[in-house]
């Protein structure tokens, strides 16, 4: 079991056994169920390439039902690697998902705001423009900033000028279940850089599927909501 | 035949016909490394520079000549090189190959502009025997985004073909080789006849570069010995970039010789693993959420409750590549002492501990005091407000501004007397078996002497600050004892008999010491070691360091009384003992430059000073050079004249991307002799302490929230 799960598992043990009762709060992600339920199926990882995984067919509702925590499937396009990630922590409007390989992604309103462990991590960002544009169903021009950690512990900042376009409602399949959601296309540009993100948002405002740019090293990640 | 002067003029005239380019375009045309491993064309230098911080390893072979060069771009303008060359069929020191070690320095005086070439001054083999010594001024200019033209004037080797009178009027240049080598050849620099050289590089495709040059190196000695034929001053070749950091060159030299050159580039500023892919940290647990964790109501927790927390927290620390040593929970402040076996960048360790503390502490704890310890010795203290940490976790500035709100100070009084120490730490046995390689590179008679074997190492942490440390080695295979005759001088033999130690095939006690580290007072750190301090000496060693947490300056004092160990490296000693003592000054400049000056008495009784200058990158890469001058004369020192060398430390985490403090380090010395030799005592204080001080922590603060 990887480090993040070890840490969180140890925290549970500590909380239950050592701190006079503990266990309070919203701890729905403290013991990632993905490890037992779906981790092996994904067989993802930073070093492994999985060719056979199919988000539509590889597993279905029974496996989804067995998952006890909100779960995403992630497909890092530049490396063609799949990985499952489960909600490890949720606080102050941020949701942090961890993979079994120790990678962490933090979201705000289903938009990736930071990554840890991918390499060339998105260290911090201001995605408020994206979040507002999604909530408004598209709109005019806005700015967003992304900060990346350099090998020498410094930062590299990228400031993007973006627009969000409201596209059609599309139907797609995730884990043998059919969904319909409206596609939003975000186009962002900076000096020498052009990025196109996609968000599939249902009527309840939940993003069921997306393609988000994590930076020049991380590239794009496709995210599919499996549960939660 | 074209003369040097006319060629140079032709080159510059051709250049003037081609449109110029911007500096930004030049960056797409990186430096070629020549057969001497420095930026150049084929054999001749150019004015191009490697990227700041770049390391290159070059090997080149033609005829009877092989050159292996390590070049480091010390700063944007300055680079230094160490070269080990071998010329076969040239008898020297009883072997049929002339092995030569040399150092180069280059400095780019002028940058290129739209109308002016860049200009670089270079010293080649400036502290060697003089075999390869040369000096040059070279200018380079880009034309279009695919052509670079270089032309220059050389002295010494580079002024040995088609030469003319010295334009500086310095016509006398010694032509004999220095007998011991290793001294600064001031009397040769820019002396003697000069000659012009030049060349052109054409970036034919993204990966292929074609070059032609006119060489002013006459290869007089080699031609005279029949080692090389020099039919023409013109060289031609191609260089192919196999990968972005790997390049292969094939050349046709002097109308007679085929040559191959292979080089690899490494840049500590751009390691293959980028900023690393260590596991994600624990999310910060908001204090309000901790409030729901049913903490006891009383302000002062019973010690048994704190003990429970400590024991429960230990695996959390271990899973984060850290180790919990002690915890004290006060009314508002919690103090944690921790060890950092995992993170090369100390700010990252501070950050991970802070995150863990948000999960461990009740809401009423508003301040975390984080104290890294090394063998029980407190190194610094970082005090951080819990609310600030929460606010910074997802802040768009990545927590950069958080540093202005933390308190970083000397940990001499952390109030941990009534804290709880984690169980099982004292006493504790740690041990391991690892392979080892002891290598002596680039010798006079043998390029590589190496012993390979197994090392059993162990330590017992007896009490905070007090430990027993040792290692036993067993040689498996090697030729470390094949060093040939030991050349002795009037100095006592303290290092030149290392082959006699290497000849030991039995288990050897490499080190066995009782060590005590302590804090004698604010800003002071102390160490005392006794036992078999290193493979060749045993005795006692004590050290005192003054290093304020926020100071770039530190001072140290060290006294050792040691006896020479028996060659079998068991418990016996030889009939030689000595006292060595040093006063040391340390200064940390900007951009990771470290300077250290040690003044004192060395193992052979000689008195002098060692000056070291290193550049350390924030991810742990370190490249440096050192030089020692003592009252031992050049003759007493022997070959090399005085001790000097370069050293490189490679953090393994930068290669793997994983959390580890393991490093691989090596030093290259032209000669390892008795003069200027220091005791290799383990655990000197400055390197242990300063990593947890400023400016190191401040400069790497970006990783606090990594």
Residue from A19, A98, A160 to probe the interface with B (highest B Cβ count within 10 Å): A19
Do the domain assignments include residue A222? Answer: yes
Residues 342-401 of B with CB under 8 A from A: 345, 347, 359-360, 390, 393-400
Task: Give the residue carrying structure tokens 């609310």.
Answer: B387
pLDDT of A81 over the 80 cut:
yes
pLDDT band at B299 (very low <50, low <70, confident <90, very high): low
Number of folded domains in chain A?
Answer: 1
Taking the Cβ of residue B313 and every Cβ of chain A, the question of whether any pair is shorter than 8 Å is answered with yes
Best CA proximity match to B622, nearest among B580, B642, B594: B594
| Alpha carbon of residue B681 to chain centroid | 19
Q: CA B403, B409, B411, B416 torsion: positive or negative?
A: negative
Q: Does A47 touch chain B (CB under 8 A)?
A: no
Q: Which fold has domain B4-266?
A: Porin (2.40.160)
Report residue B29's pLDDT band, with 50, 70 and 90 as the boundaries. Answer: confident
- In DSSP notation, A173-194 reads EETTEEEEEEEEEEEEEETTEE
Residue B688 in 3-state DSSP? Answer: helix
Mention every residue, 6+ apart, whose C-beta is less than 8 A from residue A78. Answer: A218, A219, A220
Q: How far is the alpha carbon of A179 from chain B, nearest alpha carbon, in Å? A: 31
Which of A 126-155 lie inside 8 A of B, CB atoms?
126, 145, 147-155
Q: Report the alpha-carbon distance of residue A118 to residue A100 in Å, rounded.
A: 13
Whether A96 sits inside 8 A of B396 (CB atoms) is no
Domain around A115: 27-227
Residue B449 pLDDT: 83
ipTM of the complex in this document: 0.81
- Residue found by looking up tokens 């000028």 in the block: A161
Query: Quick one: pLDDT at residue B11?
Result: 36
* Cα–Cα distance, B118 to B150 (Å, whole number): 9
Q: Using the predicted structure, report yes or no on whether residue B667 has a pLDDT greater than 70.
A: yes
The answer to whether residues B83 and B128 touch, using CB atoms and an 8 Å cutoff, is no
> Domain limits of chain B?
4-266, 287-423, 428-690
Distance CA A171, CA A56 (A): 12
Go through B596-614 and write b for each residue having 16 or more CB atoms within 10 A of its CB, e for each that does not.
bebebbbbbbbebbbebbb
Per-residue pLDDT of B209-242, as tens digits, reads 999 999 999 999 999 999 999 999 999 999 999 9
pLDDT band per the 50, 70, 90 thresholds, residue A24: very low
Q: Is residue B293 helix, strand or coil?
A: coil
Chain B residue with minimum CA distance to A126: B396
pLDDT band of B94, cuts 50, 70, 90:
confident
Q: Considering chain B, what is the average pLDDT of its residues?
A: 88
Return the CATH number of the domain spanning residue range B287-423: 3.30.300
Q: B369 falls in which pLDDT band (50, 70, 90)?
A: very high
Angle at CA of residue B700, ends B697 and B706, nearest 5°: 115
Judge whether A9 lies within some domain: no
pLDDT at B297: 63
What is the pLDDT at residue B101? 85
Banded pLDDT at B7 (limits 50, 70, 90): very low
CB-CB contact of B449 with B440 (8 Å): yes
Residue A16 lies in a domain: no
What CATH number corresponds to the domain at position A118?
Answer: 2.40.360.10
B292 has pLDDT over 50: yes
Q: Which two tokens stand for residue B358?
A: 């948000």
In whole angstroms, how far apart are CA A91 and each of B285, B293, B320, B392?
8, 15, 21, 14
Kindly state whether B267 is in contact with chain A, defined as any CB-CB distance less than 8 angstroms: no
Percent of chain A predicted with pLDDT > 90:
55
Whole-number Cα distances in Å, B189 to B135, B171, B186, B217, B433: 6, 11, 5, 16, 51
pLDDT tens column, B676-694: 999 999 999 999 999 999 9
Q: Poorest-confidence range of A61-65, A183-187, B179-183?
A: B179-183
A23 in B contact zone (CB under 8 Å): yes
For B546-571, the pLDDT digits (tens) are 999 999 999 999 999 999 999 999 99
Is residue A16 scored above 50 in pLDDT? no
**Residue A10 included in any domain:** no
Omega before residue B695 within 30° of 0, cis: yes
Read off the pLDDT of each residue in B275-301 and give the average, rounded to a whole number.
78
């Amino acid at each position: 079991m990887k480090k993040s799960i070890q840490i969180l598992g140890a925290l549970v043990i500590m909380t239950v056994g050592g701190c006079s009762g503990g266990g309070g709060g919203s701890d729905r992600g403290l013991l990632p169920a993905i490890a037992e339920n779906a981790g092996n199926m994904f067989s993802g990882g930073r070093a492994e390439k999985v060719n056979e995984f199919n988000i539509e067919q590889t597993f279905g509702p029974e496996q989804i039902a067995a998952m006890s925590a909100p779960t995403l499937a992630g497909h890092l396009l530049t490396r063609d690697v799949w990985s499952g990630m489960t909600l490890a922590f949720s606080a102050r409007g941020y949701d942090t998902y961890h993979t079994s390989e120790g990678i962490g992604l933090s979201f705000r309103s289903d938009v990736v705001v930071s990554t840890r462990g991918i390499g060339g991590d998105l260290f911090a960002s201001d995605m408020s423009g994206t979040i507002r544009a999604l909530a408004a169903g598209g709109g005019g021009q806005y700015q967003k900033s992304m900060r990346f950690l350099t090998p020498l512990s410094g930062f590299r900042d990228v400031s993007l000028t973006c627009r969000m376009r409201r596209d059609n409602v599309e139907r797609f399949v995730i884990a043998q279940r059919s969904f319909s959601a409206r596609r939003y296309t975000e186009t962002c540009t900076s000096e020498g850089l052009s990025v196109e993100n996609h968000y599939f948002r249902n009527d309840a405002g939940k993003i069921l599927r997306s393609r988000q740019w994590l930076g020049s090293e991380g590239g794009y990640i496709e995210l599919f909501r499996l549960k939660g | 035949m074209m003369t040097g002067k006319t060629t140079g003029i032709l080159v510059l005239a051709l250049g003037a016909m081609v449109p110029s380019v911007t500096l930004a375009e030049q960056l797409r045309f990186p430096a070629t490394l020549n057969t001497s491993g420095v930026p150049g064309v084929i054999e001749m230098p150019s004015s191009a520079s490697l990227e700041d911080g770049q390391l290159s390893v070059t090997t080149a072979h033609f005829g009877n000549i092989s050159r292996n060069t390590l070049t480091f771009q010390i700063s944007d303008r300055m680079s230094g090189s160490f070269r080990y060359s071998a010329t076969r069929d040239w008898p020297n020191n009883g072997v049929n190959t002339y092995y030569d070690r040399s150092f180069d320095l280059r400095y780019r005086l002028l940058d290129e502009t739209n109308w002016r070439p860049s200009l670089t001054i270079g010293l080649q083999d400036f502290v060697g025997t003089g075999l390869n010594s040369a000096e040059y001024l070279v200018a380079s200019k880009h034309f279009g985004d695919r052509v670079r033209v270089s032309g220059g004037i050389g002295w010494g080797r580079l002024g040995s073909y088609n030469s003319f009178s010295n334009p500086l009027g310095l016509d006398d240049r010694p032509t004999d080789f220095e007998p011991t080598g290793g001294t600064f050849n001031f009397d040769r620099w820019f002396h003697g006849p000069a000659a012009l050289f030049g060349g052109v590089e054409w970036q034919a495709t993204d990966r292929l570069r074609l070059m032609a040059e006119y060489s002013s190196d006459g290869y007089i000695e080699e031609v005279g010995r029949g080692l090389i034929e020099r039919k023409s001053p013109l060289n031609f070749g191609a260089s192919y970039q196999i990968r972005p950091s790997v390049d292969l060159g094939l050349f046709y030299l002097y109308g007679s010789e085929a040559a191959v050159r292979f080089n690899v580039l490494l840049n500590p500023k751009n390691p293959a693993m980028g900023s690393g892919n260590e596991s994600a940290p624990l999310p910060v647990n908001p204090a309000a959420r901790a409030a729901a964790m049913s903490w006891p109501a009383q302000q002062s927790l019973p010690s048994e409750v704190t003990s429970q927390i400590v024991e429960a927290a230990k695996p959390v620390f271990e899973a984060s590549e850290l180790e919990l040593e002690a915890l004290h929970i006060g009314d508002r402040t919690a103090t944690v002492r921790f060890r950092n076996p995992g993170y090369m960048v100390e700010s990252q360790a501070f950050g991970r501990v802070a995150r863990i503390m948000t999960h461990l502490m009740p809401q009423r704890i508003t301040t975390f005091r984080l104290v890294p310890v090394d063998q029980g010795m407190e190194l610094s203290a970082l005090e951080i407000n819990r609310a600030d940490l929460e606010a910074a976790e997802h802040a768009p500035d990545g927590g950069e501004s958080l540093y202005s709100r933390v308190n970083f100070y000397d940990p001499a009084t952390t109030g941990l007397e009534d804290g709880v120490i984690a169980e099982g730490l004292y006493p504790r046995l740690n041990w391991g078996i690892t392979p080892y390689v002891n290598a002596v590179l680039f010798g006079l008679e043998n390029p590589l002497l190496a012993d390979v074997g197994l090392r059993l190492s162990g330590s017992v942490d007896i009490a905070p600050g007090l430990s027993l440390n040792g290692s036993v080695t067993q040689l498996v295979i090697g030729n470390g004892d094949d060093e040939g005759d030991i050349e002795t001088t009037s100095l006592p033999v303290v290092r030149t008999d290392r082959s006699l130690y290497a000849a030991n095939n039995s288990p050897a006690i490499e080190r066995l010491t009782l060590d005590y580290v302590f804090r004698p007072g604010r800003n002071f750190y102390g160490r005392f070691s006794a036992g078999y301090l290193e493979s060749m000496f045993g005795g006692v060693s004590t050290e005192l360091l003054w290093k304020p947490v926020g100071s770039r300056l530190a001072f140290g004092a060290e006294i050792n009384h040691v006896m020479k160990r028996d060659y079998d490296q068991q418990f016996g000693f030889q009939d030689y003992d000595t006292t060595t003592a040093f006063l040391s000054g340390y200064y940390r400049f900007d951009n990771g430059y470290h300077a250290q000056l040690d003044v004192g008495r060395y193992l052979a009784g000689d008195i002098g000073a060692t000056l070291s200058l290193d550049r350390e990158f924030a991810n742990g890469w370190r490249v440096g050079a050192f030089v020692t001058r003592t009252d031992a004369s050049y003759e007493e020192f022997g070959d090399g004249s005085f001790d000097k060398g370069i050293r490189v430390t490679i953090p393994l985490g930068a290669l793997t991307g994983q959390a580890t403090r393991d490093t691989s380090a090596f030093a290259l010395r032209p000669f390892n002799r008795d003069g200027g030799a220091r005791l290799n005592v383990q655990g000197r204080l400055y390197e242990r302490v300063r990593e947890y001080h400023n400016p190191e922590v401040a400069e790497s603060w970006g990783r606090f929230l990594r």
